[in-house]
Amino acid sequence: MVGAVTPVQKVLQMMGDMKNKAIKEKANEVAVFAKFTEFCEDTEVEKGRAINEATEQIEKLSADIQKYTSNANVLAQEMAKLDESISLAKKDLTDATRVRDGEKKDFEKTHADYVESIEDLEIASTKLKEMMTAVKSASAASLLQNLASKPNMPEGARDTLLTFIAEGSPEDKAFSQGIHLLQQPQATTVNYESKSGGIVQMMEDLKEKLEDERTKLEQEEMQKQHSYDMMAASLTDAINQQTDSLADKTATKKQMETSASDAKGDLASTQATLAEDTKYLEDMKTTCAQKQSDFEARQKMRTEELQAIDQAIEIISSGSVAGSAGKHLPGLVQIKNPTSLVQLRAGAKSPAQDAVASYLAKQGQKLHSNLLAALSLHVGSDPFVKIRKMIQDMITKLTEEAQEEAEHKGFCDSELASNKQTRDDKTTQADTLTANIEQMTAEAQKLATEIGELSADVAASDAAVAEATKIREAEKTKNTETVEDAKVAKAAVEKALQILKDFYEKAAGATSFIQVRSSVQKQMPETFDEPFTGTGGEGGVIGMLEVILSDFERLEAETTEEELTSAKEYETFMADSAEDKETKTGAIKDKTARKTGLESDTAQAKKDLKSTNEELDAALAYFEKLKPSCVDAGESYEERVARRKEEIESLGEALKILEGESV
């Protein structure tokens, strides 16, 4: 009948559709796996670089910790020596001061004795001169005895007086005899005046001698005081210098200990990040290797499937099968607008969109541009017109940003130059505090950079999770469609098999009937040597259809198994990503806390610096205000201009690709 097809024709149609679908799916699988391979390679390079950097950072931090600890130990030893030296110097100064005080006390007593003795001699000399006009020898002798007996009289002067009285010159003896005669009333008066000049001269000489000894005593006291002052000044200077040195070493030791503690915190954080990255890389390599093995096996299976389909089509399309089917097999009503087994849901994307998405993704990775990378995701899913307008708007926006950044750079250059001049003029007055502020600011900036890198890693992980989720959803959708297609194909083949089986059962019944009438056949002319069982035999057609049916059953089972495996791999990936994100988020939190602490310490240091130089604080505050937008931009102005230019050029190329397809 017109419009009818035989089961063989239907099978041929199904096998032709199957072949087309197999070829398309094989090509699609190659393209999809190429992207997956690129993802594996890029991620391995990225994680490998991160691991190498972390390893180098760990080595550096370990060396820094050892250096800081060693420096702190050396400083502790030096501080102990300084403490001992300061204690010895203070003891020497105390001992010297005690000796000096004793010497000064002795000097003051001896000096007072000299002064009093000299005054006594002056008084005695005056009295002796008065005695020269009268016979007062007894009083003179008494005067000399009184002088010699004074307790403050120096021993040398006392000896001189006593010697003069007891063992003096002939004149002195005469004087003594005169004293003796004066004590006897019958004695003749001795002319003392002729002999008293020796006594007066002796008194003058003794006074001069005491004055010389006093002068010598004063000079010795001055020399001792000078020597003490020099020694005390030297010891005081040494104590002050060593005390200052001890304070500096104490501060430096504290700084070394703080640096060692910070480095230990960084080391622990870096080691944790390294462990997570290493685990992530090992899991990814295992997954990628398994996927590579699965891909090769699937490609081999698809190649064998195409070969089997070609062989089946060749066999069923042969004249012995198709011709006999056209003559003897009942036809099937042709279904209008049939749904092909290999028909897949048509996508809304154009080939140009795929090319643009791939191009922008590669450019985003090459230029490290999050903007191009994000845009590449939209290109793959948004409508064509919307994508073109989005690219045009993005080019306009980047051009405007370039102009704004050029103006902002002029402002920054001017303000930074002016601010630097102010800071340079004032910094001299507060070098120590400024150095501390710069060090803490540098550490805070380093932490900010590390926080930014960790945040970028977290963002990249989130993007990878989003991309994996997108791939998983697409894969799940595709697998669901494949299973549904397999079920429809199975139903069609089962229907064809049922038709053939009905036919062969009928043929078998006819054969049985002929065998029952075999006695009659001897009387009939000979026609066929063998009973008719169908053109080509039952085994060829049924066997081929059963192979086709088993292929669809295998496709359904393998796709279902693949879906379960992919879902499990996706869950593992999500768990690893979540764990990696949690570790890096914890590191961000720790570094942020430390950065906040550094910023708090910096603020306190700035308050201390304010008391030294208010103008410098204002300049530094303004400089800190300029830094976020003018200094700490992450990359130089020239790099940003070059990157933005390449982004604009990339967007222009992408627009050309779209415009070329739209034409």
**Is residue 30 included in any domain, yes or no?**
no
Per-residue model confidence (pLDDT) at position 533: 47
What is the phi/psi pair of residue 456, to 5°? -65, -40
**Is residue 624 included in any domain, yes or no?**
no
**Is residue 297 included in any domain, yes or no?**
no
Q: CB neighbours of 339 closer than 8 A, spacing ≥ 6?
A: 488
**Is residue 359 included in any domain, yes or no?**
no
Find the angle CA(210)-CA(154)-CA(106) to the nearest 5 degrees. Answer: 100
Q: How far is residue 443's CA from residue 450's CA, in Å, rounded to a whole number? A: 10
Find the angle CA(471)-CA(477)-CA(481) to the nearest 5 degrees. Answer: 140
Handedness of CA 75, 79, 80, 82 (dihedral sign): positive
| pTM of structure | 0.36
**Is residue 532 included in any domain, yes or no?**
no
The total of structural domains in the chain comes to 1
Handedness of CA 22, 23, 29, 32 (dihedral sign): negative
Q: How far is residue 85's CA from residue 252's CA, in Å, rounded to a whole number? A: 19
For residue 158, what are the domain limits?
82-250
Q: Six-digit token pair at 431?
A: 């070098």
DSSP 632: -
Per-residue model confidence (pLDDT) at position 324: 40
**Is residue 395 included in any domain, yes or no?**
no
Q: Six-digit token pair at 19?
A: 């072949």
The two counts, helices (H) then strands (E), for the chain are 14, 2
Per-residue model confidence (pLDDT) at position 316: 57
Q: How far is residue 280's CA from residue 89's CA, in Å, rounded to a whole number? A: 63
**Is residue 141 included in any domain, yes or no?**
yes
Per-residue model confidence (pLDDT) at position 188: 35
How long, in residues, is the chain? 663
Specify whether the CB–CB gap between 324 and 8 falls below 8 A.
Answer: no
Averaged pLDDT, groups of 10, the chain, 663 residues long: 52 71 80 82 88 93 93 93 92 93 92 87 78 53 71 74 61 43 38 54 84 92 93 92 93 93 92 90 84 80 70 60 42 37 38 70 72 64 63 78 77 80 73 80 90 90 90 89 80 73 59 40 41 44 68 83 89 90 91 90 81 72 78 70 80 77 43
**Is residue 154 included in any domain, yes or no?**
yes
Specify whether the CB–CB gap between 340 and 646 falls below 8 A.
Answer: no
Q: Going by DSSP bridges, is the β-strand pair 332-333/4-5 parallel, antiparallel, or unpaired? A: antiparallel
Q: How far is residue 19's CA from residue 96's CA, in Å, rounded to a whole number? A: 112
Q: How far is residue 495's CA from residue 316's CA, in Å, rounded to a whole number? A: 17
Q: How far is residue 539's CA from residue 546's CA, in Å, rounded to a whole number? A: 10
